[in-house]
Amino acid sequence: MNKKQLALLLLFVSPLVPQTQAEIKHVEMRVEGMT
Amino acid sequence: MKQHLGRQSGVQDVEVSLRDGKVDVTPKQDGRIDPAQLLKATYDSGVSVAELDMTVRGKIVKDASGNLALQAEPNQSFAIAPNELSQSLETLVGSATAVTVRGQLYKKPAGKKKADTSVPLKLLILEIQKKE
């Protein structure tokens, strides 16, 4: 497989790889003084 | 405050409940959210944070001083405050197992009006939701 074929393969396969997920899933704050 | 928090990087959505004094922040799928920055932004918008809880997924590691920490991506690490639940995570140090935990990262000290954000934040594990 030459470099061009390898680059094309990566180009087409990369969208199938799951994107990096944000590791903080949820943030909840209890606040005071909110009107 | 909603707009103020919504402008922070990595924030997808902010829900504010005036009745309960509760603010829910949903991070973007591929974003990086900084809880310390959220605390500061909330304080800057004129309200004080009594408590900040979060659900986070990561790997258990030991930091340079030998304390437990939760290593999250992208490139974030949270020192873990020791408690019974954190002890049960010690066996996972250095393993490939990722854990999802719910923990308290900040609680306003009793009697203090102003939040002290200079103190390093430590994650007090409240619940271990998943090991995978």
Q: Say what the alpha-carbon torsion angle B32, B33, B37, B39 is, to the nearest 10 degrees.
A: -170
Q: Is the peptide bond before B74 cis (omega within 30 degrees of 0)?
A: yes
- Domain covering B50-132, topology: OB fold (Dihydrolipoamide Acetyltransferase, E2P) (2.40.50)
CB contact under 8 A, B33 and A32: no
pLDDT tens per residue, range B69-93: 999 876 788 999 999 999 999 999 9
Please report where in the chains the tokens 């409240």 appear, as a residue. Answer: B126
B29 token code pair = 């799928």
pLDDT tens per residue, range B10-66: 888 899 988 888 999 999 887 688 888 888 888 888 888 999 999 999 999 998 888
Please tell me the predicted confidence (pLDDT) of residue B129: 92
- Where along chain B do its domains lie? 1-47, 50-132
- With a pLDDT cut of 70, the percent of chain A lying above it is 63
Please tell me the predicted confidence (pLDDT) of residue A20: 46
Contacts of B36 in chain A (CB under 8 A): none
A6 token code pair = 């390898």
Residues 6+ apart with CB under 8 A from B85: B101, B125, B126, B127, B128
Do strands B48-62 and A24-32 pair parallel, antiparallel, or not at all (unpaired)? antiparallel
Please tell me the predicted confidence (pLDDT) of residue B123: 93
Please tell me the predicted confidence (pLDDT) of residue B113: 59
What is B1-47's CATH number, 3.40.228.10, 3.30.70.100, 3.40.50.300, 3.10.105.10?
A: 3.30.70.100
Please tell me the predicted confidence (pLDDT) of residue A18: 46
With 80 as the cut, is the pLDDT of residue B2 above it? no
**C-alpha distances in angstroms, B89 versus A23, B14, B28, B58?**
18, 31, 27, 12
- With a pLDDT cut of 70, the percent of chain B lying above it is 92
> Mean of the pLDDT values across residues A15-35?
73
Q: pLDDT band at B9, cuts 50/70/90?
A: confident
User: Cα angle vertex B50, ends B47, B54, to 5°?
Assistant: 110
Contacts of A30 in chain B (CB under 8 A): 20-23, 49-52
For chain A, helix, strand, coil in percent to 5 are 40, 25, 35
With 50 as the cut, is the pLDDT of residue A19 above it? no
pTM of this prediction?
A: 0.77
Residues 6+ apart with CB under 8 A from B54: A24, A25, A26, A27, A28, B35, B102, B103, B105, B123
- With a pLDDT cut of 90, the percent of chain B lying above it is 39
Q: Tell me how many residue pairs between chain A and chain B have CB atoms under 8 A apart.
A: 102
Per-window interface: B 14-53 vs A, CB < 8 A: 16, 18, 20-33, 35, 38, 42, 46-53
